[in-house]
Each structure stands twice: as structure tokens, then as C-alpha cells.
Chains A and B, each alone.
Chain A
Amino acid sequence: MINFLYIIPEIIIMTVLSFVIVLDSFFSKNNKKISYYFVQLSLFLCSYYIIDNFNFLNKNTSNLYNTSIFSNIFKLFITLSLALILHYTYKFLQYFKKYESEYFMIALFALIGMMIMVSSEHLLLLYLGIELLSLSLYSLISFNRDSIFSSEAAIKYYILGAIASGFLLFGISLIYGLTGSLYYVEISNQISSLNFSSSEYTLHAVGLIFALTFILISLAFKFGAAPFHMWIPDVYHGSLITTTLLLSTVPKIAVFIIIIKIINSIFSNLYIFWADILFILSILSIIVGNVTAIVQTNIKRMLAYSTIANIGFILLGIFTGSIEGYKAAMFYTITYVLFTIAAFGLLSELKNGESPIEEITNLSGLNKQYPILAFIFMLLMLSFIGIPPLLGFHAKLFIIQSLILTSNIFLSIFAVLMTVIGSYYYLRVIKVMYFDNLDNKLSCISTSYITYLYVFLLVLLGLFPDILGQISYYSISNL
């Protein structure tokens, strides 16, 4: 049985959600935005209770559901990031007259899904969490029904996502058949009691590797790693820019946490098998992402390929299998998410004529009209490249450091080379903003003080990377 005191954050979100669903139908068209404020309120209330949960932590509150420090830190992070994302979304939808309260409700459903994914200690619960998240993402992607690209992206993601879920379920069922349990702890006990030397194929190892491969393929699909990355550019391109903002940030943290949990707490004894899989995934992701991004003209597509490349770096950190590698991967994920929120958020605040920003050339001459915004966007791009005082530099540094510590010298050289190739397309954006002629149609849809404050905090965080480093180290050691 579960102690319901520990899942108060989830209960709060669900309660407010049910309340808003009913209440929203009574509002007239002009008052629908009250629902948005309720949603934001629920996010802050939820984060208050998550912080409150730190006071009475228990490593294992239930076999099914884990509310340890690790999951609480990430629930807090996801909730606050979602509050910021919804702020941008609200302003964007309001300006382009696409506002519907359902968008925010579905985003809350996605939040519940991610919280379940972070906390689950049971494969069935994990599957339900992933389904909750994916289903809400499908409907958010197809939200912009006037655009044919949006429907196309949603259908593509839906079909591929269903196949990936099928793979995950197949892997889970194989694990149940082999170990007789779905609890992470019991599966891991079963595997370690098998006592096979990892170099030779024993009977049991074959089955476990089979299951492991299926689960990793499905998670790589959800993460967007290279051979399974085909949906990312189309989906990012097809959906509204704020949906892309939501899609490319918080779900990645949740999927990252599952990957690290599954690898670290279930399959830690099978290191040599999953290391190979992750190695191939990460190398392919980095190459495909960085090389293909060079030829993109659409800024959402370009950032989509940069996402793939970044995911390659994250997987490279996990691949080392050391605590330093996990820490570096976690640091990288958090950095990536923080900066992607800023980048897409800033893009959602600009418009070209009467439509949102689509092409890179839409940004031309941004410096002449909005020098502060151009400077901020330059900082973000420089951080993605990995220029020293910014957070992106430390993230890349830690990954390369962990590679060197586990004596993967060639891989670290490869990572540095690929960073150099990748810097081309980020620098091109800076060039377009600073040196091209002004496109007079460019304008800003609202004041962006929150962006200023947020990026200021990010720069400050980059000057003191120790804070984030401590957090990721602390959470990894409490995994």
C-alpha cells in the first residue's frame, strides 16, 4: 500500500486539473484565461508541497512509488520549468488568438505523466507514466489544426510512438517472464543472483539482453537518439513553437531519468551489453545531429538537429558507466533544458510580419532593432557551442572529463571535433542577427522582462557552476 501523504504534489495537480476542467466550461469566451491562472497556481502550489516533502523523506515510501530526494529534486525542476514554459505559451497563444484552456490542461496531464515516470519503481507504473506523457504530447502537437504540417507531425509521432510503446511492453513482458517480478529492486536482485560472468553468454543473459535491447530502443526513441530520431525534425517543425518548447525540454529530463534509473538500478550488472548499445546510439546521434543541422534553413529544424546532437553527448556521459559520467550527463541534461527553454522562449516572443518565426533568415538584423534580445540570443547560442564563462562549457567539459577518466581518449577527441563542427550552425544564427540587413517585418509580441531575468540567472549560474554540479552529484548519489 502507498502512503498518500507522499504523493500530495500529484494529488494537488490532479485535483486542480479536475476542478479547472469543470470550471472552464462555465466561463465565457473572454474569461477563459482564468483557467490559465489556476493552472499556474497549481504548479506553484505543487512545487511548494514538493519542497515540503523534503522534510520527511524516506528512501522507500512504497515499493511502487519512490519519493526519495532524487525524484523530489527533479519533480521540482520539472514543475518550475513547466511554469516558465506555460508562461511563454500563454503569451504566444494569446497574441496569435489561438488560446484554448485545454492546451494548459493537457500540459498538466503531461506533468503528471512525467512525475510518475520520475518516481516509479515498478515497470508497469513506468509504462503508464510514459503513455500518459506521450498521449498528451500527441494531442498538443496536433493542436494547431489549421496547419497541415501540424496534423502530419502528430500522425507521424503517434504511429511511431505507438510502435515504440509496443517495444517497451514487449521488453517488459520478457523481463517479467525471466525474473517473475516488475519491481526494479527485485529484478535487480534476480539479475545479480544469477552470478554469470559478463563475458560469456549464459542462457539467462541472452534473454535479459533481448529484453534490455527492446527497452533501450523504446527509450532511445522517446529520447530522440540517432537511428530513432526521424520524428524529431518533422514534429518540431510541424507544431507551434511553444509546443516545440514544451516537447524539447521537460520530457527529455523525464526520459533521461528513466534511462539512468533503468541502467543504474536494474541492469547495472549487464554494463558491458548496454554500454555497446549506448555507444552506437551516442556516436550516431552526435554525427547525424551536427552534420545535418548545417544544411537546415528552418530554425526549428536546426534546433531539432541540435537536440539530437546534444542527446548524443548526454548518452556519451551515461555510456562511461561511472558515477562521474552519470553526474556529467545529468549536468548536461539540466543545462541543455535550461538553455533550450530560453532559446525557444525567446523565439516565441518574436514575430515576423503576422506569423511566428520560422526561418533563420527571419532573424536577420535583430541587433539593429532589439539589441538586448540579440545579445541574449547570442549568449544562448554561445552556450550551446560551449564558450567558457557560460554553463554549456562546463557541461561539455564534464562530459569530456568523464570520458578521459574512463580512458576513452579517442572518444573525447571525437566529441571535441564534433563540437567544432556543430559550432558552425550556431554561429550562423549570430551572423544573421548581427551582420545581415534589417528585416523590417521583425517585431516583438510582448515585453520580455522574464526572459531578461531568466537569462541573467543562467549567466550567473554559469559563473558558479559548482551549484549545479553539487545538485547533480547529490541527486546521483541518492539515486
Chain B
Amino acid sequence: MNAELIIFYLFSIFLIISSMRVVISNNPVKSAIYLVFSFFCSAVLWLLLGAEFLSVILILVYVGAVMVLFLFVVMMLDINLSEITSGFVKYLNEGIFVFIIMSALLILFFQNQFADTNKNIITEIIIISDSNTKNLGYILYTEYILAFEIAAVILLLGIISAITLTHKKKSDNKFQDPDMQVNVKKEDRIFIVKDEDSK
């Protein structure tokens, strides 16, 4: 057993355990941290496959940026724990049923599919340099430029719909309009009432 194989099995087991803990864990903050750990484990697996650029990106973007933001949101929201965990036992039977069927099918499929074949089916990758990053950049900006642009459009859509949905003032919101506050006149505030008795 060489070192590569040991690392692979070690981090695969870590990955499986931590992914399960993401779902099972009672505390949402713990779930998020387990998610961070499972991202880290898959980054290690990618590194073993030779995809060093993607694995670094996974750690930088997901662990470094996305998950930290996510943790902030989870911590700021007041999540009722008992409400989340109440459904767990209720749907456990169905969940286990689906789990068994899916995993049986998957095991059947993977045993049949990749048991005896050892051939590399992925052909014709344009390699312009030894560097992973360079190859990825080359293929992203030539062959897949359209897909790249569409991903940008999806991000723009995300920004616009998030702003539209959150920025809209609800009719029952109590908010201050600075414009109205500045432009207020004396007549809007003071009513001079003639005192009838003093006459």
C-alpha cells in the first residue's frame, strides 16, 4: 500500500463521514463547519487526481469565501433547532428506503460499469502546456467561451433578482423617507387652533 492510496482512503472516509454529519448534525453552525471540512477533503481528492488548480480554487472560493459568508448568515439567523430536527425521525423510514434503493442501484451500476474496463475513454484533450491552469484557461476561453459567457449572465441574473426581491418596499413597512423629512413645511406640522373660550 503506497502513500497515495492511504491518503485517498483516509480522505474518502473523512469525506463520507463529514458529509453525513452535515445532514445529521443538530446545530446548523456545526453542519456548516462539517461542510467546510467535506469541501477540504474533496479538494485533497482532486489534488490526488492531478487537478491542482481546481482543488486550490475549491479551497479558496468555497472554503475561504462562500462558506464563511454562509456561516455568518447561519449565525445571524435565529434558527429554531427543535423545528428543524422534528421532521428527522418522522421521515427517517422513507429516507432509509430511498437510501437503500439508490445505493443498491449505484453499486450495481458501478460494479458492472467499471469492474473490468481500465481504458481511458476521455480522448482528445488539447494540451498546450504542462500547467493545469494554462490548459484550463485555454479551453475555457476558446472552446467553451459561450458557456463561460452564459455563466456570467446567470450571475447577473442572480444579482438582479436578489436586489428586486429584497429591495422592494413592502406596503406595511415603517420606513423614513429623507426626501419628505427635508421638504416638510411648517404648515404640515403646526395647526393653529383658535381658542373659543378666550373671546
Q: Which residues of A contact B192 (CB under 8 A)?
A: none
Pick the contact of A128: B113, B147, B161 (CB < 8 A): B147
Contact flag A210-B109 (CB < 8 Å), given A106-B161, A139-B161, A146-B171: yes
Nearest-Cβ distance from residue A107 to partner chain B, whole angstroms: 11
Please tell me which one of the listed residues B105, B153, B170 contacts residue A132 in the complex, with CB atoms under 8 A apart.
Answer: B153
Chain B residue numbers with a CB within 8 Å of A122 are 147
Shortest distance between the CB of A355 and any CB in chain B (Å) = 15
Q: Are A139 and B122 in contact (CB under 8 A)?
A: no
B176 at the interface (CB under 8 A from A): no
**Chain B 125-166 near chain A by CB (<8 Å), digits 1 or 0:** 000000000000000001111110011011011101101110
Say yes or no: A139 contacts B150, CB within 8 Å: no
A102 at the interface (CB under 8 A from B): yes
Partner of B108, one of A135, A138, A139, A206: A206
Q: Name the one of A21, A65, A131, A132 contacting B146, with C-beta atoms under 8 angstroms.
A: A65
Contact of A106 among B121, B122, B157 (CB under 8 A): B157
Which positions 3-31 of chain A face chain B at CB distance < 8 Å? 7, 14, 21
Asked if A125 lies at the interface with its beta carbon under 8 angstroms from chain B, I say yes
Query: In the complex, which residues of chain A have a beta carbon less than 8 angstroms from the beta carbon of B122?
Result: 180
Q: Contacts of A180 on B, CB cut-off 8 Å?
A: 121-123
Indicate if B112 sits at the interface (CB-CB under 8 A): yes
Kindly identify, within residues 119 to 144 of chain A, every residue whose CB is under 8 Å from any CB belonging to chain B: 122, 124-125, 128-129, 131-132, 135-136, 138-139, 142-143
* Given A109-B157, A129-B150, A210-B105, residue A142 in contact with residue B113 (CB < 8 A): no
B160 and A146 form a contact (CB under 8 A): no
Q: Which A residues from 375 to 391 make CB contacts under 8 A with B?
A: none
Q: Is A295 an interface residue (CB 8 A)?
A: no
Please tell me if the beta carbons of B145 and A178 are within 8 angstroms of each other in the complex: no
Chain A's closest residue to B149 (CB) is A14
Of the candidates A7, A125, A138, A203, which one forms a contact with B147 in the assembled complex, judged by CB atoms under 8 Å apart?
A125
Contact with B along A74-100 (1 / 0, CB 8 A): 000000000000000000000000001
Q: Taking CB as reference atom, which chain B residue is nearest A109? A: B157
A139 touching B165 in the complex, CB below 8 Å, given contacts A105-B160, A125-B147: yes
List the B residue with the shortest CB-CB distance to A128.
Answer: B150
- How far is B148's CA from A1's CA once the two chains are assembled, in angstroms? 13
Q: Which of the listed residues B108, B164, B168 has the most CB atoms from chain A within 10 Å of its own CB?
A: B164
Given the known interface contacts A1-B142, A64-B147, A125-B150, the answer about A139 and B164 at a Cβ–Cβ threshold of 8 Å is yes
How many of chain A's residues have a CB under 8 angstroms from any CB in B?
39
Contact B153 A14 (CB under 8 A): yes
- CB within 8 Å for A102 and B143 given contacts A135-B154, A178-B121, A206-B113: no
In whole angstroms, how far apart are the Cα atoms of A136 and B121 in the complex?
A: 37
Q: Are A207 and B153 in contact, with the CB atoms below 8 A?
A: no
Residues B143 and A136 in contact, CB atoms below 8 Å apart: no
Bound Cα distance A139, B147 (Å): 22
Indicate with 1 or 0, residue by residue over B18-52, a CB within 8 angstroms of chain A CB atoms. Answer: 00000000000000000000000000000000000
Q: By the criterion CB–CB under 8 Å, are B154 and A1 in contact?
A: no
B101 to nearest A CB, angstroms? Answer: 13
Q: Please give, as numbers and ranges, the residues of chain A lying within 8 Å of B142 by CB-CB distance.
A: 1
A131 pairs with B154, CB closer than 8 A: yes
> A179 at the A/B interface (Cβ < 8 Å)?
yes
For B144, the chain A residues whose CB sits under 8 A away are 64, 124
Given A2-B145, A2-B146, A145-B168; A132-B112 close (CB under 8 Å)? no
Q: Provide the residues of chain A in CB contact with B170, threshold 8 Å.
A: 145-146
A112 within 8 A of partner (CB) = yes
CA distance A102 to B170 in the complex (A): 16
Q: Does A116 contact B (CB under 8 A)?
A: yes
Q: Which residue of A lies closest to B163 (CB)?
A: A102
> Least Cβ distance of A142 to chain B in Å?
6
| 0 or 1 for each of B80-111: is its CB under 8 Å from A? (1 = yes) | 00000000000000000000000001001100
Give 1 or 0 for each of B165-199: 1 = CB within 8 Å of chain A CB.
10010110000000000000000000000000000
CA distance A233 to B41 in the complex (A): 41
Given contacts A106-B161, A132-B157, contact A207 B147 (CB under 8 A): no
In the complex, which residues of chain A have a beta carbon less than 8 angstroms from the beta carbon of B147?
64, 122, 124-125, 128
Complex CA gap A211/B113 in Å reads: 12
Contacting residues, chain B, for A178 (C-beta < 8 A)? 113, 121
Cβ contact within 8 Å between A207 and B157: no
Given A2-B145, A180-B123; A106-B160 close (CB under 8 Å): yes
Q: Do A203 and B112 contact each other (CB < 8 Å), given the known contacts A1-B143, A100-B168, A145-B170?
A: yes
Q: Which has the most chain A C-beta neighbours within 10 Å: B108, B123, B156?
A: B156
Complex contacts, A138 vs chain B, CB 8 Å: 161
A132 contacts B109, C-beta separation under 8 Å? no
Q: Known contacts being A124-B147, A125-B147, A128-B151, is A136 close to B161, with CB within 8 Å?
A: yes
Bound Cα distance from A180 to B121, whole angstroms: 5
Report if A102-B160 is in contact (Cβ < 8 Å); known contacts: A1-B143, A132-B153: yes
A-B complex: 10 closest residue pairs judged by Cβ atoms:
A139-B161, A180-B121, A102-B164, A180-B122, A128-B150, A109-B157, A207-B113, A210-B109, A203-B112, A206-B112
Q: List 26 A-B contacts (CB under 8 A).
A: A2-B146, A7-B146, A21-B160, A64-B146, A64-B147, A102-B160, A102-B163, A106-B157, A122-B147, A124-B147, A132-B153, A132-B157, A135-B161, A138-B161, A139-B164, A143-B165, A145-B170, A177-B121, A179-B121, A180-B121, A180-B123, A203-B113, A206-B108, A206-B112, A207-B109, A210-B105
Apart from the given pairs A64-B144, A109-B153, A136-B157, 18 other A-B contacts in the complex at a CB distance below 8 Å: A1-B142, A1-B143, A14-B153, A21-B160, A62-B146, A122-B147, A124-B147, A125-B150, A128-B151, A128-B154, A132-B154, A139-B164, A177-B121, A180-B122, A206-B109, A206-B112, A210-B105, A210-B109
